A and B are shown apart, each in its own frame.
Chain A
Amino acid sequence: MSARPQPLVVGAGPAGIRAAEALVAGGLRPLVVDEAPACGGQIYRQRLVDDGRSTKDLYGSEAGKAERLHAAFGALEGKIDYRPQALLWNLRDGVADIVVAGATRRVAYDGLVLATGATDRVLPVPGWTLPGVFTLGGSQVALKAQGCAIGSCVVFAGSGPLLYLVAWQYMKAGVEVAAVLDAAPAIAKLNLLRALPLDPGIVLRGTRFVAELRLRGVAIRTGIEDLRFEGEGRVSGVAWREGSRELRLDCDGVGYGLALRSETQLADLAGCDFRFDQRDRAWLPVRDTAGRASVPGVYLAGDGAGIAGADAAECAGERAALALLEDRGLAFDKVRAAKLEAALARIGRLRDALEAAFPFPAHWAAGIDNATTLCRCEEITAGTVREAASRFDIGEINRLKAVSRIGMGRCQGRMCAAASAEVLADATGKPIEVVGRLRAQAPVKPIPLALQLTAEPAELPEAAE
């Protein structure tokens, strides 16, 4: 067979690892690029140095999965081309631009598996940019990778399963957790009963986190409103409201986040169609049950294509790789593919129940005051956004970006687009899906002007087939 370029897997988290593994099993030699220094993604992120902590210390109940996944990726050594600490900043029509070690190279690929993962979804509240305020994911990274805490007396606030997991991990690590402030009302947790038959383990684990946190005297408040972080130059306290009661707590660190958002820029640059997903309250690339995107040869897996968690990511990564093999005319395990799709469907139903247990705070946008910064890169406040929308009679997010600079900074809207869309929808009285989504532009992340193009080096060979 003539040498076709190798498939490209973007991301070495649960989805990317299982995709690479299945491609190798199918006889291909993929190129795997990942921004992190070691495999595992966010959830199974590895510590930077051996600090004596065991995998059990790091990953708790998920230690077994982490170990299996890291080992599976280790076993691919020599069978894949792996580029850690690599930034894929642009791609189109079978050519990707990748920065490795300070130089950029153009790599041809045939078949693209996007396993780009997710970040926290942050809805700004007063004080969210104060030093000492971290995302929930950031808090977890500090603990996992660097073995340090974000403060000595920490409050975790927001919503989503991650809220309780990170609080529990901090408590286990010996950090004083002052409180867990959940924006979801207590009654929403009844939806967990729906999740129970689908995955008793996950519900029971969550229940155990809550019980252990309570046992250690951690205050757990639900249905909190008007959350704000206070402090001069650094966070020193958290204030909120419960019904008509104003409450406040001292702390020196805050972990904050409202569920997760998918990293979809590469799917956008690849030309994939998007649809609005009510469950994630986000625009997501369209994919079929196998993970095929609307663009032939592009496959989507893991949280980057819609939030479903690490177990789903493993299934989706492998399933997407099987689809790639099938589309390339190679042998693949049909029975296995059907099994994976069944597992993904089951997890999908679980997600429905979990999302209902941690519902999106629908009134957030109406309550956000004009002085609060929405876009921290460009320092644009909610008031500026509302004023721009009204002055220019704007009801679409890309037009809002054009006149207000929102989403034009270093993060290119990755952090602020969701919040800006909420504010715009609220200001114009439109449903969130009507205001649209920010079109992605390269570079996906900032790159230096003096970046030099290097010839494709020998260590990135054409795939042998």
Chain B
Amino acid sequence: MSRHLDVDVAIIGGGLVGSSAALALRNMGLSVALLDKGFCGAQASGVNYGGVRRQGRPLEQLPLSQRAHAIWPRLRELIGIDGEFLRSGHLKLARSEEDMASLEAYAAAVADQGLDLELIGHNGLRERFPWIDGSILGASLCAGDGHANPRLVSAAFASAARRAGAHVLENTPVTGVMRLGEGFVLEAGEDVSLKARFVINSAGAWADRFAADFGEPVPLTRIYPSMIVTEPVELVMSVNIGMEGGGIYARQVERGNCVVGGERALPLDDPDFSRPRGDGVLAIMNRTAEVFPKLRHAQAIRFWSGTEAAMPDKNPVIGFSDTTPGLIHAFGFTGAGFQIAPGVGEVLAELVRDGRTATPIEAFSISRFSHDRIRHGSGAGTHPEPQPRGAST
């Protein structure tokens, strides 16, 4: 039996961005359909590392990040669960003098942004974080940052949106979307058709196809972060750990499992799925044992990966389409979307309701890639390889 919906906003992609936008829109009284090709929160939003971190973000992301920062402690009120959010602090480690210098430079650059960074020298580190290997020279602590459980948070935002009255359509890939009259028409799944005044493209690693459908090709690539988790061990890691210049990132959950990320995984034959590389996970595991000597005898029980969209300048695309009125993009978070996503959801809802937002997002405009469009021409038929209109979410 075919199903027709007429809504204010159709959201393509039920990750944390799309789900939190759906909830915010419902709270404004707008009607919403949230569409996902699979399950809401099953892709990058649900399988990411779980860092809730402002420290280390580029300056232009900090207003948005601060906005999200205010949402995280309110999760229980918003979505019914706290999502295992812990304001543990985020400690970024320096392995060399150069690393320490760049931590210092960052702290100076963001001094007026309210992150309250604290630089810690070698002695301070030994005293306060004796479980970190002595080879680490120093660190920068952002006490207000923390971590949470992405598996729960993303699914709970979608569930909360559904309870708030959003039409949540899972396993319903959008097979066609086009501007028509005052709004959009969408076809999805086997037999769902929708009319919507606005469309939000929050399709993550699949968002470029929808952008291209509206004549806005973007240089989106896919990345596959690689993660491991240990069996539950004695609680040692009191903070969320990052490393200047990359390497590993690690956190310990209340139950005792340590989640550690680093390296990159490889896509499978179906590029929607990926899997960590054997040598990659070994490198993460060995580095974990070096940096946290107490974990040397811990066992790794699971590896995983996810499919995530990355932009060349590492900033997301957030804001109105350049080509199509009523179309709003929000994708390409480049491995750092989890913390800011609930803030992005609110911003998207404001864009729909007011046509503007008080949070500065100019740096994330899709127009920054418009030279690509000029070079490639515009509109359909100019993609390097034929892209079916039936892009999926």
- B298 in the interface (beta carbon within 8 A): yes
Which residues of chain B in 154-172 are interfacial with respect to chain A, using CB atoms and an 8 Å cutoff? 155-156, 159, 162
Give, as a whole number of angstroms, the nearest-CB distance from B172 to chain A.
Answer: 14
Residue B123 interfacial (CB < 8 Å) = no
Tell me if B286 and A393 are in contact (CB < 8 A).
no
If A442-B275, A446-B231, A449-B288 touch, whether A396 touches B301 (CB-CB below 8 Å) is no
Contact partners of A403 in chain B: CB under 8 A = 151-152, 155
Q: Is the CB of A410 within 8 A of B301?
A: yes
Closest CB in chain B relative to A112 CB, distance in Å: 15
Question: Is the CB–CB distance between B42 and A402 below 8 Å?
Answer: yes
Q: Mark A388-401, 1 if CB is under 8 A from B, else 0.
A: 00011100101100
- Report B-chain residues with C-beta under 8 Å of the C-beta of A271: 268-269
| Given known A106-B278, A271-B268, A453-B279, contact A402–B46 (CB-CB < 8 A) | yes
Chain B residues 222 to 277 lying within 8 A of chain A, measured CB to CB, are 229-231, 255, 268-269, 275-276
Residue of B46, B230, B255, B275 touching A449 (CB-CB under 8 A): B230
Q: Decide: A442 and B278 in contact? CB cutoff 8 A.
A: yes
The A-contacting residues of B in range 69-118, CB under 8 angstroms, are 80
Most buried by B among A269, A378, A399, A408: A399
The answer to whether residues A392 and B156 also contact, given A448-B298, A449-B300 and a CB cut-off of 8 A, is yes
Complex: how many Å from CA A442 to CA B229? 11
User: Contacts A106-B279, A403-B152, A453-B279 known; A448 to B299 CB distance under 8 Å?
Assistant: yes
Flag if B299 contacts A104 (CB, 8 Å): no
How many angstroms from the CA of A90 to the CA of B229 in the assembled complex?
15
Residue among A271, A378, A409, A452 having the largest count of chain B Cβ atoms under 10 Å: A409
Are A443 and B286 neighbours in the complex by a CB distance under 8 Å? no
Q: Does B5 contact A (CB under 8 A)?
A: no
A97 at the interface (CB under 8 A from B): yes
The CA-CA distance from A443 to B278 in the complex, in Å, is: 9
A55 to chain B, nearest CB (A): 36
B282 at the interface (CB under 8 A from A): yes
Is A402 touching B278 in the complex (CB atoms < 8 A)?
no
Q: How far is the CA of A333 from the CA of B173 in the complex (A)?
A: 50
With beta carbons under 8 angstroms apart, the residue of A95, A393, A446 that contacts B159 is: A393
Give the distance in Å from the alpha carbon of A392 to the alpha carbon of B156 in the complex.
Answer: 7
CB proximity to A under 8 Å, residues B15-47: 39, 41-42, 46
Chain B residue contacts of A453, Cβ below 8 A: 279, 282
Number of interface residues of B (CB under 8 A): 37
Q: Give the distance in Å from the alpha carbon of A252 to the alpha carbon of B298 in the complex.
A: 33
Flag whether B297 is at the interface (Cβ < 8 A).
yes
Q: Which of B286-306 touch A at CB < 8 Å?
A: 286, 288-289, 295-304
Does A362 interact with chain B (Cβ within 8 Å)? Answer: no
B205 CB–A CB distance under 8 Å:
no
A90 contacts B278, C-beta separation under 8 Å? yes
Assembly CA distance A453 to B159 (angstroms): 44
A409 to B253 CA separation, bound complex (whole angstroms): 14
Q: Quick one: which of A342-400 are within 8 Å of B by CB?
A: 378, 391-393, 396, 398-399
Complexed CA–CA distance, A68 and B10 (Å): 68
Chain A residue at minimum C-beta to C-beta distance from B302: A441
- The reply to whether B162 and A393 form a contact with Cβ atoms under 8 Å apart is yes
Instruction: Report the separation of the CA atoms of residues A399 and B268 in the bound assembly, to the nearest whole angstrom.
Output: 20
Range, interface on chain A: 20 to 34
B159: chain A residues at CB < 8 Å are 391-393
Distance (whole angstroms) from the CB of B299 to the closest CB of chain A: 4
B275 touches A92 (CB 8 A): yes
Contact B282 A442 (CB under 8 A): no
Q: Do A451 and B155 touch across chains, with their CB atoms under 8 A apart? A: no
Among residues 73 to 112 in chain A, which have CB atoms less than 8 Å away from a CB atom of chain B?
90, 92, 95, 97, 104, 106
Q: Which residues in B have their C-beta under 8 angstroms from that of A95?
A: 278
- Does B285 lie at the interface of the complex (its beta carbon under 8 Å from any beta carbon of A)? yes
Q: With a CB–CB cut-off of 8 A, which chain B residues contact A402? A: 41-42, 46, 151, 155
| Residues in A178-205 with C-beta less than 8 Å from chain B | none
Are the CB atoms of A408 and B268 closer together than 8 Å?
A: no
The listed residue (A269, A410, A442, A449) touching B295 by CB distance below 8 A is A449
B279 touches A450 (CB 8 A): no
Check if B185 is an interface residue, CB within 8 A of chain A.
Answer: no
Check: A135 CB closer than 8 A to any chain B CB: no
Chain A residues within an 8 Å CB radius of B162: 393
Task: Give every chain B residue within 8 A of A408 (Cβ-Cβ).
Answer: 229, 301-302
A447 on the B face (CB < 8 A): yes
| B303 & A441 in contact (Cβ 8 Å cutoff) | yes
Map CB proximity to B onto A101-139 as digits: 1 under 8 Å, 0 otherwise. 000101000000000000000000000000000000000
A446→B299 contact, CB < 8 A: yes
Least Cβ–Cβ distance between A213 and chain B, in angstroms: 40
* Known contacts A393-B162, A403-B151, A403-B155; A441 and B282 CB within 8 A of each other: no
Interface membership of B349, Cβ < 8 A: no
CA distance A442 to B276 in the complex (A): 8
Interface: B62 (CB within 8 A): no
Most-contacted residue by chain A among B41, B80, B275 (CB, 10 A)? B275
- Judge whether B299 and A441 touch: CB under 8 Å: no
Residue of B nearest to A452 (CB): B286
CA A402 – CA B151 in complex, angstroms?
A: 5
The answer, yes or no, to whether B200 is at the interface (CB within 8 Å) is no
Q: Mark B292-322, 1 if CB is under 8 A from A, else 0.
A: 0001111111111000000000000000000
- When C-beta atoms are compared, the residue in chain A nearest to B276 turns out to be A442
**Chain A 241-282 interface residues, beta-carbon cutoff 8 Å to B:** 269, 271
A412 at the binding interface (Cβ < 8 Å): yes
B281 within 8 Å of A (CB atoms): yes
Given A271-B268, A399-B42, A442-B303: A449 and B278 within 8 A (CB)?
Answer: no
> With a CB–CB cut-off of 8 A, which chain A residues contact B288?
449
Closest to B229 in A: A408
Chain B residues closer than 8 Å to A393, beta-carbon distance: 159, 162
State whether B155 touches A392 (Cβ < 8 A). Answer: yes
Q: How far is the CA of A408 from the CA of B259 in the complex (A)?
A: 12
Whether B289 contacts A450 by the Cβ 8 Å rule is yes
Q: Which residues of B contact A450 (CB under 8 A)?
A: 285-286, 289, 296-297
Report yes or no: A409 in contact with B281, Cβ–Cβ below 8 A: no
**Distance between Cα atoms of A271 and B41 in the complex (Å):** 24
Interface string of B41-55 (1 = CB under 8 A from A): 110001000000000
**Closest 8 pairs between A and B when the two form their complex, measured CB to CB:** A446-B299, A450-B289, A402-B151, A449-B289, A97-B278, A449-B285, A90-B278, A450-B296
Write 29 A-B pairs (CB below 8 A) sorted by A numbering: A90-B278, A90-B281, A90-B303, A271-B268, A392-B156, A393-B162, A396-B39, A403-B155, A408-B301, A409-B301, A441-B303, A442-B275, A442-B276, A442-B303, A446-B299, A448-B285, A448-B299, A448-B300, A449-B286, A449-B289, A449-B295, A449-B296, A449-B297, A449-B298, A449-B299, A450-B297, A451-B286, A452-B286, A453-B282
